[in-house]
Amino acid sequence: MSIGSLLILPGDGIGPEVMAEVKRIIDWFGEKRDLTFDVSEDLVGGAAYDAHGTPLHDDTMAKAQEVDAVLLGAVGGPKYDVLDFSVKPERGLLRLRKEMDLFSNLRPAQCFDALADFSSLKRDVIAGLDIMIVRELTSGVYFGEPRGIFTENNERVGINTQRYTESEIDRVARSAFELAMKRGKRLCSMEKANVMESGILWREVVTEVAKDYPEVELSHMYADAGGMQLARWPKQFDVIVTDNLFGDLLSDVAAMLTGSLGMLPSASLGLPMANGRPKALYEPVHGSAPDIAGQGKANPIACILSFSMALRYSFDLGAEADRLEKAIEDVLADGVRTADLLGQEGVTPVSTSGMGDAILAKLDASL
């Protein structure tokens, strides 16, 4: 019996390579755990532009609205830099997020013990790190109007508008509080209320929402100070909630704390559908890495962990997500490494598919 429906969008660059390993994991759950999914596959980003002249075909968008979860690899590449902004590969991803109303972006930063020495930070600073950044995803400066490049007084002016409504802040704040309730019951909200009116409103609304979650300890921090504190002592945080722009920046800072972008997944969640499941898109934090595409060097772990997040948040299969994450942890403990994680003595270098082989072997051992 099918657990639910998945739309796979491998995308560009290393996207198809890392997604190939995810598809092997999905097949394993069907064969060994009797957890089957209705899987369909389509194009996004540059691949979609090459085929259809648009980074996301309307038919693909319609499919994404109907399935329980979308798994995306990566989009973009230098061959598309010459395209008009309106049809660049990244516009396909932004359309998915916007039209699916995926307003809550979950970006975990977790340091596996085997990789604690791989970070640029000291082991005692990074070992045991397990934080979650909740980034508002469908509003703010990336979507606000007016925007564009205009001519004023005989010179060009670039304009982007930071805009948030009370309801947009309220709903992402509630998603962060709900997540904090399931974790350490600590939430830090980050903005720039000292210089931005949108930051003042953000702080006021989050403070109001906190009244509905008296068990959660709420703190506030300016986003620039938050970036500094993430680099100084990241384990002081549990859940961080912030806006679209600051979330983009802070989540990439948190990503590098763990040593490699190739290790970090993300989930983008929206409002519940008729079946009660939230609309959801899962993707690795890393980009398309065109410089290593097709060489078997890409680390598939971030994409596999994105599927683990789908198991947890879209399909209520927390125990199976734990099983997959433990398999990854055991593989890393054995010293198995893709190219992005080399540099330590006594490790075993493997290709993209070699990492998939090792994880599947650990999954077999878990039965």
Q: Residue 324: inside a domain, yes or no?
A: yes
H/E element, 241: strand 239-242
Q: What is the pLDDT, as a whole number, of residue 363?
A: 98
Q: Give dist(CA 359, CA 24) in Å, integer.
A: 10
124 counts as catalytic: no
Q: Residue 82: inside a domain, yes or no?
A: yes
Q: Residue 218: inside a domain, yes or no?
A: no
One digit per residue, pLDDT tens: the chain, 367 residues?
689 999 999 999 999 999 999 999 999 999 999 999 999 999 999 999 999 999 999 999 999 999 999 999 999 999 999 999 999 999 999 899 989 999 999 999 888 888 887 787 888 888 889 999 999 999 999 989 999 999 999 999 999 999 999 999 999 999 999 999 999 999 999 999 999 999 999 999 999 999 999 999 999 999 999 999 999 999 999 999 999 999 999 988 887 787 667 788 999 999 888 888 999 999 998 899 999 999 999 999 999 999 999 999 999 999 999 999 999 999 999 999 999 888 777 889 999 999 999 999 999 999 9
Q: Residue 89: inside a domain, yes or no?
A: yes
The strand pair at 265-272 and 278-284 is best described as antiparallel
Q: Residue 150: inside a domain, yes or no?
A: no
224 counts as catalytic: yes
- CATH number, domain of 347, equals 3.40.718.10
Structure tokens at 94: 């932004």
H/E element, 228: helix 223-232
Q: What is the pLDDT, as a whole number, of residue 332?
A: 93
**Catalytic-role residue among 252, 316, 322, 357:** 252
**Catalytic-role residue among 49, 142, 213, 282:** 142
Q: Residue 230: inside a domain, yes or no?
A: no
Give the range of the structural domain holding residue 5, as residue numbers without chain letter. 1-111+263-367
**DSSP reduced 3-state for 19:** helix
pTM for this model (two decimals)? 0.89
Q: Give dist(CA 28, CA 115) in Å, integer.
A: 26
**Catalytic-role residue among 88, 192, 279, 297:** 192
For the chain, give the percent of residues with pLDDT over 90.
83
248 counts as catalytic: yes
For residue 116, which phi and psi values (nearest 5 degrees)?
A: -60, -30
Q: Residue 334: inside a domain, yes or no?
A: yes
**Catalytic-role residue among 68, 238, 243, 248:** 248
Q: What is the pLDDT, as a whole number, of residue 284?
A: 94
Backbone φ/ψ region at 211: left (φ over 0), alpha (ψ -120 to 50), beta: alpha
Q: How many domains are there within the chain?
A: 1
Q: Residue 12: inside a domain, yes or no?
A: yes
Tell me the per-residue pLDDT of 312-331, one tens digit each, with 9 for 90 and over: 999 999 999 999 999 999 99
3-state helix, strand, coil in the chain (%, to 5): 45, 25, 30
Tell me the per-residue pLDDT of 220-243, one tens digit each, with 9 for 90 and over: 999 999 999 999 999 999 999 999
CA proximity to 113, closest of 251, 258, 239:
258
Q: Give dist(CA 243, CA 251) in Å, integer.
A: 11
H/E element, 206: helix 197-210
Using an 8 Å Cβ cutoff, are 354 and 63 in contact? Answer: no
Residue position matching structure tokens 């045991």: 128
Q: Where are the alpha helices (DSSP H) in 36-165?
A: 46-52, 58-66, 89-99, 123-126
Q: Give dist(CA 249, CA 151) in Å, integer.
A: 29
